[in-house]
Amino acid sequence: MGKTKTVFVTGEVAEEKSGKAAYEEKKRKQLEAQKKAEEEKAKVAKVGLKGGERIKIVGGDLPPVEKVSTEGAEGAGDTEIKKARKVKVRSEKYKTARAQVDKSKHYSIEEAIKLVKETSYSKFDGTMELHLIVKKDNLSVQVTLPYSYGKTKKIEIADEETIKKLKKNEVDFDILLATAEMMPKLVPFAKLLGPRGLMPNPKTGTLIKSAKDAEKFGGNMLTIKTEKKQPVIHTIAGKVSQADKELKENIESILDTVGKRQIIKAYLTSTMSPSVKLEI
């Protein structure tokens, strides 16, 4: 044990603590601090945490969430917790147009074209759109529409003159075809052609064997493909102002090229109109 010292201050006696007493006092304070920290830690709400997840709620109750019943939905079990979605507000023009379409009916192509034209409420010449749900993704086909719906696309076969234009960042064509011999010369311009969808490749059929193969390409050629990792196709069939006969033949060409056996559902709509279910 350490020695006890006595000092006199203003006539009173104050006893200094020995080394052992000071050590025990320090240890007691450390234990109290540790106990307090454990109590604070116990307030953390460890609700639904999995391995690697961080604790985001400390103390207090969980914020209220909306419970949405999914009974009857495909692949749904009991009640699930979902975030509330914003309700999309439709215009009065859309509501009026939508009332003219029978949701449960599948229309023939002729009926659908007439109905979409009647319900289109845009002040400009809208685009006639075809939306398909197919059986598989990664589907890509090419179709040449019987009738053009806009300006004729300019097709160019890559040659030395094309390379000179690309060096000047000049792109004055809508479709670029190339033979295997020309591809190495086009690679340096991938950043210029790629974002525009003009880089020739086998998937789009723009990589040809010879110049004679270019005769198969027309200005009305479309490359139709599914969305990334989704079996859904969005494409254009023409303009609302086009004749019904032209639109019908364009739509039939697209459906036949994709393959009616591959199509689960088909919808026809315009830029500003409700969609109409097609009879396949």
> Tens digits of per-residue pLDDT, 192-203?
998 888 898 887
> Tens digits of per-residue pLDDT, 50-61?
544 554 444 444
Is residue 230 within 8 A of residue 137, CB to CB? The reply is yes
pLDDT on residue 207: 86
Residues in CB range of 243: below 8 A, 6 or more apart: none
Is residue 233 within 8 A of residue 247, CB to CB? The reply is no
Is residue 32 within 8 A of residue 49, CB to CB? The reply is no
Q: Which CATH class is domain 154-217?
A: alpha beta
Listed residue (201, 189, 200) closest to 164, CA to CA: 189
Delimit the domains of the chain by residue range.
100-150+220-280, 154-217
- In angstroms, the Cα distances linking 29 to 16, 21, 35, 37, 155 are 19, 13, 10, 12, 85
Structure tokens at 26: 């320090």
pLDDT on residue 82: 53
pLDDT on residue 219: 64
Stretches in the chain below the pLDDT threshold 70: 1-18, 41-85, 151-152, 216, 218-219
One fold for both 100-150+220-280 and 154-217? no
Within 10 Å of residue 42's Cβ, how many Cβ atoms? 8
The single-letter code of the amino acid at 125 is D
Quote the CA–CA distance of 239 and 125 in Å, as a whole number: 7
Reported pTM: 0.56
- Residue 231 dihedral angles phi and psi, to the nearest 5°: -80, 55
Homologous superfamily of domain range 100-150+220-280: Ribosomal protein L1/L10, rRNA-binding domain (3.30.190.20)
